[in-house]
Amino acid sequence: MRILERKFLSEDKTPALRNVVGFGMGSNSIDVALRWNTKEKQQEFRRQIYNSPAIRFEGKLDPIIDNREGVSTYQGISLKAEKPSYPLGTTEIRFTITNHSGKEFMYGESYSITAQGRDGSWFILPTDCLFNAVGHILSDGQSGTITAHLFPDILPNNPGVYRFFYEENIDGNKVLLMATFELK
């Protein structure tokens, strides 16, 4: 654990280390959570960060399929990407959420992003795993921003269309707002 703590707190953030979301003591193991959890990324962790039989990786193996679709507007609340397309190496994308509902609207910062795989299924991309639990308030007619982070050093992004999802309760209904953007 001390070795992992030192490496995690160091200034040298290699892609393998940036893929680590967190780690802690399990009952008989050191449990490691990866942002992008594949057998290859687990091996990369063992080669570049630390290899021990005590290490156990948490969670499902990626890719995780998510073929949901959302709406861009619901009862006057709308969501869209600031630009329709971005270069492949982009690490940050901003989305505008606008309130034309006739009343105040509160939104947070959690989100998910999916990309279309070669087989046509949509899979969840590695993104921020922890979000600030804040509530931004928009009066009627106001807009706000949600900033999404991509990690091309962990999972290189392919050219294509991507889906950004923001889920919120609006008037007691669970609503999945969606905006699309393209990476070229």
Q: How does the average pLDDT of the chain come out, rounded? A: 92
Quick one: 33 and 93 in the same domain?
Answer: no
For the entire predicted model, the pTM comes to: 0.87
Give the model confidence (pLDDT) of 27-36 as tens digits: 899 999 999 9
For position 32, what pLDDT does the model report? 96
For position 62, what pLDDT does the model report? 87
Task: Domain of residue 147: give its range.
Answer: 73-183
Give the model confidence (pLDDT) of 113-141 as tens digits: 999 998 999 999 988 766 667 889 999 99
Q: How many domains, the chain? A: 2
Quick one: 52 and 80 in the same domain?
Answer: no
Quick one: 31 and 81 in the same domain?
Answer: no
Quick one: 46 and 116 in the same domain?
Answer: no
DSSP assignment string, 29-81: SEEEEESS--HHHHHHHHHHT---TTEEE-SPPSPPB-----BSEETTEEEEE
Give the helix/strand (H/E) hosting 9. helix 2-9
Three-point CA angle 98, 168, 118, nearest 5°: 90
Checking if the pLDDT of 10 tops 90, the result is no
Tell me how far apart the alpha carbons of residues 137 and 184 are, in angstroms, rounded to a whole number: 34
Give the model confidence (pLDDT) of 73-124 as tens digits: 999 999 999 999 999 999 999 999 999 999 999 999 889 999 999 899 999 9
Residue 142's pLDDT band, with cuts at 50, 70 and 90, is: very high
For position 180, what pLDDT does the model report? 97
pLDDT, mean of residues 140-151: 95
Checking if the pLDDT of 159 tops 90, the result is yes
CATH value at residue 108: 2.60.40.10
Beta bridge partners of 60: none
Does 158 fall in a domain?
yes
Does 14 fall in a domain?
yes
Spatial CA neighbour of 115 closest among 168, 62, 55, 167 = 62
92-101 b/e with 16+ CB inside 10 Å = b? Answer: ebebebbbeb
